[in-house]
Amino acid sequence: MYKGDEKIKNKIIIPVGVSVIVLSVTSVILSLFLMGIIRLPTAEEKSSKVLPDIIKLTDLGSATELEGNVTLVSVFANDSRYSWDFNDENDISARENIFSYTKTAADWICEQAQRYNKTLNISYAEDSKSDLYYETAFDEKCLDIEKSISKSALPEWKYIDSKIDNNAIKSKYKSDSVVYLIFINQKEEYGTVAFALSFYDRVLDYPYEICFLPYFFAENVISPSVIAHEILHTFGAPDLYGYDEYKMNYDTTVEYVDYCRKNHYNEIMHSTFDISEGVIKRVYDRITNDLTDITAYYIGWIDEPPAEVDEFALVHSQHEYYSRHKQDKD
């Protein structure tokens, strides 16, 4: 073989070899893609799991700390489908029940706060003479889960802003936070479930929170645990029983929900039913669910995220940034 041939051979072999390697690597990557083993991150996944600066440090929406003085305002509302009749004995006793369940929920949340060394006082309407008690009527359908998904409750915001002096309530009760509990006299067994507007990833332009509470749903009358569960949402607690279908629940996944079913079965954000006697039922004179570190973290009672937060790549609690910002300012 002549030297010239050797050169020509090298000229051919090197590019061919490189091409073969490139092609094989490409085809391996391509098949991994096709098998779904590797994939490109979506635009949402590319964006960090932490919240944008503007929300971190300015308006934290509902996530003012669940500390200090919290005021619950009870609004008994008629809407296009359901109404209250306080001349009717049944509705009078339903309202009495709601006052009592609200008290049980508030007392229970305060007990939980003590366990985490937080000072918390909750004021609420104990009867219809309270200045934290209101009645109103909306033309539209109040119980619409779409409100929770779109984080918008225009008729209710408009009503509160025009008919209730929220500032006067805040100054009288020295409230750090105000939560409106809107009770609807829904009577259908399979009607809309209770829900809250939870603003953990978006600025809330209103200085108060709202929960929508049907009197009857899922075959049962509302209970203290349901009221407590919804109030906790407004301070940042995510649901632990359903994955994040609508980008409103900290990126919880099916795997995480599965983990919660095994590890947080009795957590109040996983279940509002009583299981203490081996049967699943509602209880009305107490709350038998637990409030554990995962909820404590998302409502700002502990700063360190429990290991499961990063293990399941959940969005971190906005309270982390709130505490950090407070420290920076001190």
Residue whose CB is less far from Zn ion, 63 or 164: 63
Query: Running DSSP on this structure, what letter comes out for residue 64?
Result: S
Q: 292 near 267, Cβ under 8 Å?
A: yes
Select from 45-53, 169-177, 206-214, 239-247 the region that touches Zn ion (CB under 5 A): 239-247
Residue whose CB is less far from Zn ion, 175 or 271: 271
Question: Measured from the CB of residue 105, what is the shortest distance to Zn ion in angstroms?
Answer: 14
Question: Measured from the CB of residue 290, what is the shortest distance to Zn ion in angstroms?
Answer: 15
Residue whose CB is less far from Zn ion, 194 or 204: 194
The C-alpha atoms of residue 122 and residue 288 are separated, in whole angstroms, by 20
267 scored as a contact of Zn ion (CB under 5 A): no
Residue whose CB is less far from Zn ion, 175 or 186: 186
Q: 209 near 179, Cβ under 8 Å?
A: yes
239 scored as a contact of Zn ion (CB under 5 A): yes
Per rule CB under 5 A, count of chain residues that contact Zn ion: 1
Q: Which residue has the tokens 């637990």?
A: 290
| Phi and psi, residue 224, nearest 5° | -55, -40
Residue whose CB is less far from Zn ion, 10 or 152: 152
Rounded-to-5 percentages of helix, strand, coil across the chain:
40, 15, 45
Site string for Zn ion, 182-221 (x = CB under 5 A): ----------------------------------------
320 scored as a contact of Zn ion (CB under 5 A): no
Pairing state between β 209-214 and 195-196: antiparallel
Q: Tokens standing for 301?
A: 């009672």
Residue whose CB is less far from Zn ion, 84 or 215: 215
Question: Measured from the CB of residue 119, what is the shortest distance to Zn ion in angstroms?
Answer: 26
156 scored as a contact of Zn ion (CB under 5 A): no
Q: Which residues lie closer than 8 Å to 244 by C-beta, 6 or more apart?
A: 250, 251, 252, 253
Q: Tokens standing for 240?
A: 């632990």
What is the contact surface with Zn ion in residues (CB under 5 A)?
239
